[in-house]
Structure 1
Amino acid sequence: MKEKISALHKEFMNVRFNGSFTPSPSSEIGEELANLSIDDVILQLKYGNDEDFNLALSAFNESFKQVLITNDWINEEGIVLVLVNRLSSCEPNNRLIILQILRKLASQDSGNKEKMADAASLSALVKSLTRDKEERREAVGLLLDLSDLPAVWRRLGRIQGCIVMLVTMLNGDDPIASSDARKLLNALSSNTQNALHMAEAGYFKPLIKVAALGDDGAVDPLVKMFNAGKLEAKLSALNALQNLSNLLENIQRLINSGIVVRSVGFTLHTLEYLPEEMTEQLGESHLNIIVNIISSSPLETDKAAAVGILSNVPISNKKVTDVLKKANLLPILTSMMNSSSSTISSISNSIAEGVAGILIRFTVPSDKRLQLLAAQNEAIPLLVKLLSSGSLVVKCRAATALAQLSQNSVSLRKSKKTSWFCVSPSATAFCEVHEGYCIVKNTFCLVKAGAIQPLIQILEGKEREADEAVLNAMATLLQDEIWEMEEKALWILEKGKDEAVLNAMATLLQDEIWENGKRVFQVEEHRVKYGESAQVVLIDLAQNGDPRLKSTTANCWLSLNSYKFSPVTFETTI
């Protein structure tokens, strides 16, 4: 070996070193190279300062390129570890030379790879991933060469920042480094923990691939990722867990991990807030899954999210209605709501709001058969119940559904004059409002359903958000084919126990009632019973109501006043 080094001395005097390794040597540097012995090279590689190390590294590199150094000598002198140890302390151009030498050594002998595969050596190599472009490229190439050793997979994943840097290089603008980073990441991903770290760094494909293979150790890391990761990580974890669930042996693992409950809840709550145009994409299988959650989930939060999703699907989508009808959603909903106490206080408002919203779908007035199905499944008593015990949103939706049902009551009633009854109907079945026989499940009558009092109580309350829906429901009972105008006014006076109710209902019907209100007060019984309440309402409407009502209100008031009060009182009050 010494003879070979000596033979190079004269060569070094005339060598023009490649610029990527060292600058072209001057005659002084060439002289120093010529005077280096093999012992000097080894000594300076191990302990030399930057200048001496640079000379020794140049001598070693040239000898190595000329194949003047044997692998036995390299092993004997521990050159691999010497070079690795100098990586962190030498200058950038020397680090680049070291990495290139190490790559050649790794390609020539598997034993050299083993020497670079310990944790300390790998940590030194990983540091080069953070440096300049050429050094990063050589470092990732060397790590890729070492990745055929199983021990490297595990150790690299444990080095802080390694996988993050590899993912960064994968997404970088250096095509060679990016390609090597991808290959290295894929090699490392055979370790589930590494795949998890990649996903946390934003590279999800390896984790999904691992999950698809059904790795026994994939469930726990994925659950951890779902619980602690950001939204993108959660979605990727769910995707991977779905792949795992295709294998029968993984089902119990998933159940034991608790991810089934958490992932269902997460997915449901995400879907609940989708825009309407997105919910239209829900297919039959998705809808059936949601219905199954409503019927079988032990968690109120899941049920609330599920009914929230269904209530958000556009009512105009008849295919969805058909699927839900086929899935027997109506009896599931009524059974769920009725299984609670006499009020719905034990059921969250979100569930009640969702259920009331779904019942609007099943009570559209254009489909009497669908309305009949809803009525036969006890939807009407449930809606009446919701009027009394739900939030304002629940009350508004319940009143809307009842209004839709009531629109068809007139056409469905059985006339009192009908002679073809097989059995005479009960006297209690006769409805004075509809002037016929009404049965709740057949004619959807609000009067017989006991809905009037809860509706009025909403009007009597202090909050006004549900008034419009309530008044629309009550207006269905005042259709012209049922009532004369004075009868409408009388019905309002009978049902309205305070000025707020009278005001609300009178405003809804505007002057069509008050034009004929004087006919009501021509009857002494009506004057005595309702005169005082009507006076207060009439004066309030004249003072604060719609200007269009003032004239008709005054006429109605004068009709009442002619029996009990003087015109001057009204004029002064106004």
Structure 2
Amino acid sequence: MGSTPALDILSRVIHITYETIDATKSVRVHKENFKKLSSYLEKISFILQELIKSGINDSRGLKTAINELIKHISETKTLTLESITRNRIYLLLNSKKIVTILEKNTKDLGGALSLFAPLISINGVSQEIIKLSKTMLDSKYQTTPAEDVIKENIELGIRERNVDRSYANNLLILIADAIGISTEQSVLRAEYEDFKSEMEKMEMPADMTESLQIEQIVGLLGKADIIATVEEREKKYISKRNSLGRQPLEPLQSFFCPITGDVMEDPVETPSGHSFERGAIERWLSEENSLCPITKTPLKSSALRTNKTLRQSIEEWRDRNTMIVIGLLKSSILSNEEEEVIICLGKLQVLILERDLHQEWVMMEDYLPVLVSLLSTKNLEIRSHVLVILRILATNHDDRKEIIARTDDAIRLIVCSLARKIEESKLALQLLKELSDNDLARNMIGNTQGCILLLVTISGSDDPQAANYAKQLLDHLSFLNQNIVQMAKANYFEPLLHLLSSGPESVQRLMVETLSELEMTDHGKLLVCENGTVELLVTMLSHNDIDMRKAAILALEKLSGVPQNGLKIIKQNATEILLIILFRESLSNPSLVEKIVATVMNLALSLTSLEADHNEKLFFESEEDVFKLFSLISLNGPNVQQNVLKTFLAVCQSPSGLNIRKILRKMVRSNSVKLFSTLTKDGDDEAFMEHVGPKSIDILFKIINTSDNIEEGVAAMEIISNLPRNHKMTQMILEAGALRVIISILSNQFHKHEAMIESASGALCRFTMSSNQDLQKKVAETGIIPVIINLLDSGSVLTKKNIAVSLGQFSESSNSLSRPIERKSSFLTCCFASPDACCMVHSGICTTESSFCLIEANAINPLVKVLDEPDFGACEAALDSLLTLVNGEQLLKGSKVLEDGGAVAKMVKLLSSPFVRLQEKALVALERIFRSPEYKQKYKTTAQMPLIEITQRGSTGMKSVAAKILAHLNVLHEQSSFF
């Protein structure tokens, strides 16, 4: 059908829609909301394409619908482009407004789309339009929690007016995270300046972002010092400071509230021009006073207006006087009058608690050297004030922490306060804890002479608050152990062991951790294990705190390396406790398991020493402990495996090892086979070729044929499956009668354990590889192919996977093994011979035994059923096997067979599989199959939506293939951007 005006306009609408979709990908704020909008636009564009293809006739109703649609898509495009070009801070502050507009636009688009439904005669398209229209009319968009928090903080900041610089800093950082920009000073500054400039240029309504004035927001964010460099702030401060006099100014009369008589903080103005403190005049009016206190004229609270000019003047007066006072206080603090110094320090403390800005001015006035010097004075009150002031300055400011730490002698003098009266000591502890958040300061604290010992001493103090502060600081000093190690090297074992036995728990744990890391001679280890240390460490093994238990295990591993210590540890029943912890943590904590096993091994080795008592009690309390420990061999890495074996060797060689030797003899073969099975899963092929010979393989088959232990037999069969798949190894396995055993197991499936069927089917895969067709023939001649095809219905998921792999390997050889029909009689043969004589895929004579043909073996339907398995491995193996029928020139004939067996429909379903690899394989196969008009037409409807989903959410390669299939199905043009 030819082009019409309406169809031309529809094409233009599609073009604008795609432009809008592309634009949504570039928005920098509200990305999730615009992503949702984009998905609606994509569905609209698809519907419009369908309308154009159907050749809808021009009508007045159609023109009305098109005009409505183009109007609202144009509005949506304008909003999207604005969301790309506008400043990101502005967009964030207007979140609710943008969400409201998005919802309106989406509803408008949904309404316009619904106008098309009555005009469409194609029932499927009409239903899609109605469904999409309803969804869009009900659509909701949301602001993010982060955006809501930022709005609340802005409202609070404006309401509080005099917020600290740190408040504005934190607010700006929240905004940066929300709009996706770096928090580096240069980036934040550029974004803020762009926002400020844009707000100055545009005409904004007074009621922007829920009645918040834009100038107030700009002013609030402008208080953040992170958008200015330190040099800029300091230069600005010094310039202003130098312009002031040396004495504070008295407040102007207009600054005082007529009701309270105090300088106002939030002045409001009445219609008559008089100003009052907001709280005072509101209280006045709430107490049944309806007249102005001065003019006695009627006054309502709704008539009050903020006096911005007066408030700004008062703030400037306060700031000016505070700058002068801070400068004057410094001069007074430098005097030798102790009482005056105390008073001035008190005033300074009040000022820096008022505002973060005052703290910044104190830093710019270079107070730190003066304050630090006062820590050496003899006056306790002066030192206490200084410690408090320094902590206030350091809190929440990493750069100030470092500046304080670098100030001459600061850390040493603060540490000296630790040794003074308990009240001063607590103030010093709080300050050091605050400073220790900075890396440089933390290192300086830890390396200050006497600091660690003072902290350890205070941690045992009778004052619980001081002890708690000291413990927190000890935990915070990451290098504490290094300091204690240095003490240990200097032969301070006695005080360290005293702290280990009598210190608080946090200190005990640190001491134990140190013992585990300390490099000690055997003599040193013996010394440590005297005077009750072993008993204490064994007790710690049962502690509620996991860190304490772990520290004790690490220390015991270190100390048990000396046989005398090992024997002491065994006497304290440590072995039993260690095994309980080991079996409890065996799956969840591999690193701890390794340490426990190493400790148990050390204890076992001590039993073989000359010091061992021949009358020692049993090392293992029960046969169950032996089995559990041996089971770790198959669950852990080589270190654990080696140490477990060394443990059993040592125990067996010990005087009390007779019982263990009896237990091990019963389980050694079974576990050896299991261990060997584990090793073959990712072993070295060269090593196996060197060490595994005919005798080993004969033993394995003897175990398979005679063992009553199912797990042992399964492990032996798994070894057969996992051994190197080269000619030499395969030949040795064949000569041992492997094929006969495997065929027997699979043929007598109802009398065999499922695990054995699984392992035998896995072992069969090594004999069906297409690289050895002679061996394939040997297997096929046993008649096993029909047997294993039956297992596709009755076997476990793993069995089905293994069988599908074998059938796929067989099928890879079918094309070359199919017997050609002689040319001179091919016509007669194909006309008069049996209809089944010519294989419909391989074009020759096929049989199950000679060419392993899946069609002749009736394997298609069973394999297709496996495609419904939820297990990824089984489904993939079945798909791979079926796809051997459409390789190369077999495509058309193989496709017909797959279609007749229902495989193509199942492959279409796999396009929606959660497993990407299955999606990819089905996608690639269908791209070839759908080149045929027959299948293209049949599966166009069912394949269309999964393919569109892949073009939107799949990988780059999958998108391209899906788009090509959509082109085959005439859903996308060949020139589509998907290619």
Q: TM-score, normalised by structure 2?
A: 0.30
Q: Higher relative contact order at CA 8 Å, sep ≥6: structure 1 or structure 2? A: 1
TM-score by length of 1: 0.48
